[in-house]
Every structure is written in C-alpha cells, then in structure tokens.
Amino acid sequence: MAKDVDPLWSGVSKLFNSKDFSYFTIRCGDREWPAHKAVLCTQSEYSDRVVRAGFKESHENAIELHEDDPNIVQMMLVWLYTGKYGPIWLPDDALPSVGGLNSVELHVPVFEIADKYLLPKLKAIAAARFDYWAHEFWNIKGFAVGIAAVYDLPSDVGAPLRKTVMDVVRLHSSTFLHGTATAAWWFRKTMDETPELGASVAMLMSEKVNELSEQIMKLESRRANR
C-alpha cells in the first residue's frame, strides 16, 4: 500500500515555480522564482520582516538576492516548498558548481544561506548532512574544499561545522598530517592557507600529546605500585 502524502505538503509543493497565487518574485543572478508570502513568511523570519516592514523590496514585489548562488537559492526554495533537501532539482550543468550530489562541500553554502535568511530548521539539516558526509568521505579532496568553505564563515556562525571538522581530524590526524594520499595533500594545503585551521589543528595535537603523556604516567604509576 502506498504511503499517504501529507496533503498540506502536496498542495504547497505544487506552488513551487508557479505564478498561481504568487505575490512577489525572488531574483538571483539571471534567475527568478515566483514566491508566495504564506509559504516564505511563515517559515523565514527574514522574509516576514521584509514584507511587514515595508522595505524597498516589498513595495516592488520583488526580493533581490544579489550576493547568493542561484543554485543554493533554488535548493533553499525547494526545501521551503516541499520539505525536501538536496540538489536533485538542479540542472545537470549546475551540479559541479555546488560540489555534486551528496558531497561534503555542498552543505556549507546551504548552512550559510539558512543562517542568513533565518531558517533554523534548514540550518540544522545542512549541519547534520555535513557531519555525516564529512565522517563518511573525509578521505577525498571534497573534504578539504569543504573545510576551506567552513573557515570562510564567521567563527560564531560556522562553529557547529568547525566542530565536525575537528572531530574528523582527531579521528584521522595521522593520515592528514603524514599521509601521502591526494586527500592528505589537499588537507595540508588547506591548512597552510587557512591560519585558523592550522591553529586549531596545532591545539588538537597538543591535547593529544597531553592525553598520551597522562596515559604513560598512569601506566608507570601502576607498574611502580605493583
């Protein structure tokens, strides 16, 4: 028996990219999407502020997102209208620019745009996906690319993603710092180009040395007490 589809989501999803009942337009780069106040303003505090406060955008019935990646904007809108997360609705030629399907680096700009437009649920999903893919695919170039994007974010915004990065580095520090694989080379290159990452790794290694020293001292103490 087929699983029932939530009738509300089913109805709302039909409005995506539809001009039916739309109240304004979202523009980004050379692309635009018809938008619906009831969908955006009930989920995004940013959209609600724009419309209610009578900002320039609301008078023109358009919101201009000049600084954002159109592909990431589309992912955000698909999530708002359907509750579905991922780049599967993007054209094939757009996938390389967002890192491809199910990649580590894809989730960083989604996390960033969710923070920017006050979408805490989408932000949490992006953080969880980044955590999963970073742990699964730490040994590919995309992990290093994702790290660079994470450390481009303000430290307070990117804190959850930075924690994931350091969790993965703790697990595979020997490979990252001494390995000869391509992924290890990319990690070290990223670390050289990202002072904050280098400082975090240095602190982590210092902690590991201290932990090892404590373990050695405990072993020696046990032997002395025998």
**pLDDT per position as a tens digit, 114-155:** 999 999 999 999 999 999 999 998 988 888 888 999 999 999
Which comes out higher in pLDDT, residue 3 or 112?
112
The string of pLDDT tens digits covering residues 48-104 is: 787 777 655 545 677 888 889 888 998 899 888 888 887 655 555 554 455 454 478
- Domain assignment present for residue 108? The answer is no
Q: Which DSSP helix (H) or strand (E) runs through 26? A: strand 24-28
pTM: 0.79
C-alpha distances (whole Å) from 94 to each of 50, 71, 165 are 29, 7, 26
- Domain assignment present for residue 69? The answer is no
CB atoms within 10 A of CB 133: 22
d(C-alpha 156, C-alpha 175), whole Å? 28
- Domain assignment present for residue 40? The answer is no
What value does the mean pLDDT take over residues 2-23?
57
- Domain assignment present for residue 99? The answer is no
- Domain assignment present for residue 148? The answer is yes
Q: How many domains does the chain have?
A: 1
- Domain assignment present for residue 171? The answer is yes
- Domain assignment present for residue 13? The answer is no
The string of pLDDT tens digits covering residues 141-150 is: 888 888 999 9
- Per-residue tokens: 106: 């894809």
- Domain assignment present for residue 77? The answer is no
| Residue carrying the six token digits 């358009």 | 62
C-alpha distances (whole Å) from 160 to each of 14, 28, 166 are 34, 27, 10
Domain that includes residue 152, residue range: 136-226
